[in-house]
């Protein structure tokens, strides 16, 4: 009975344009955040770009082609986005705190890839840590691990 009613309503009411738009995936959400950290540094270095691609490749076990495609989609999504909340919401919904802390460590790895943290990177990281609901102590620990790996 309900399926007949649903079919009838679907035939009468056309689907909204957003119904056909693919939702952001966890991969895309993480890629956008990594790219935003990379872009927040006015002197975005090749090391940061390499770090982004390496993190995506390892985290999601992607091929070179898949990483390149994801990177292109993420750059475009980052340019079109009004804010980062839409991406952090996906991560918060899909991942437990322990994995979100790992995400923060990835973000710090990108920030440290060129050997220094700019004021803009530091500011963005504070915002992202808040949006990902990471406790301060866990953020500092992730930052120290990332800094140790960059040296």
Q: What is the CATH number of the domain that holds 64?
A: 1.10.3680.10
Q: Please tell me the pTM assigned to this model.
A: 0.81
pLDDT of residue 8: 44
If you search the block for the tokens 């530091």, which residue do you land on?
Answer: 122
Chunked in runs of 10, what are the mean pLDDT values of the chain (151 residues)? 48 42 75 95 84 96 94 95 95 96 98 91 96 97 88 55
pLDDT of residue 98: 97
- Is 87 within a domain? yes
- Is 9 within a domain? no
Q: What are phi and psi of 43, to 5 degrees?
A: -105, 60
3-state secondary structure of 15: coil
Residue 32 near residue 74 (C-beta atoms within 8 A): yes
- Is 30 within a domain? yes
- Is 1 within a domain? no
- Is 11 within a domain? no
Domain that holds residue 75: 24-150
User: How far is residue 86 CA from its own chain's centroid?
Assistant: 10
Report the alpha-carbon distance of residue 98 to residue 33 in Å, rounded.
17
Please count the structural domains in the chain.
1
Residue partners of 126: CB distance under 8 A and separation at least 6: none
- Is 4 within a domain? no
């Amino acid at each position: 009975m309900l399926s007949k009613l649903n079919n009838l309503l679907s035939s009468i009411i056309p689907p909204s344009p957003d119904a056909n738009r693919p939702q952001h995936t966890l991969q895309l959400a993480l890629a956008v955040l990594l790219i935003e950290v990379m872009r927040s540094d006015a002197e975005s270095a090749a090391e940061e770009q390499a770090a982004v691609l390496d993190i995506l490749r390892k985290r999601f076990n992607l091929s070179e082609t898949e990483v390149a495609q994801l990177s292109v989609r993420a750059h475009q999504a980052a340019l079109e986005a009004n804010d980062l909340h839409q991406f952090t919401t996906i991560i918060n919904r899909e991942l437990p705190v322990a994995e979100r802390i790992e995400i923060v460590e990835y973000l710090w790895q990108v920030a440290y890839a060129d050997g220094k943290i700019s004021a803009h990177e530091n500011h963005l990281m504070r915002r992202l840590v808040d949006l990902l609901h990471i406790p301060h102590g866990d953020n500092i620990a992730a930052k120290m691990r990332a800094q140790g790996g960059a040296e």
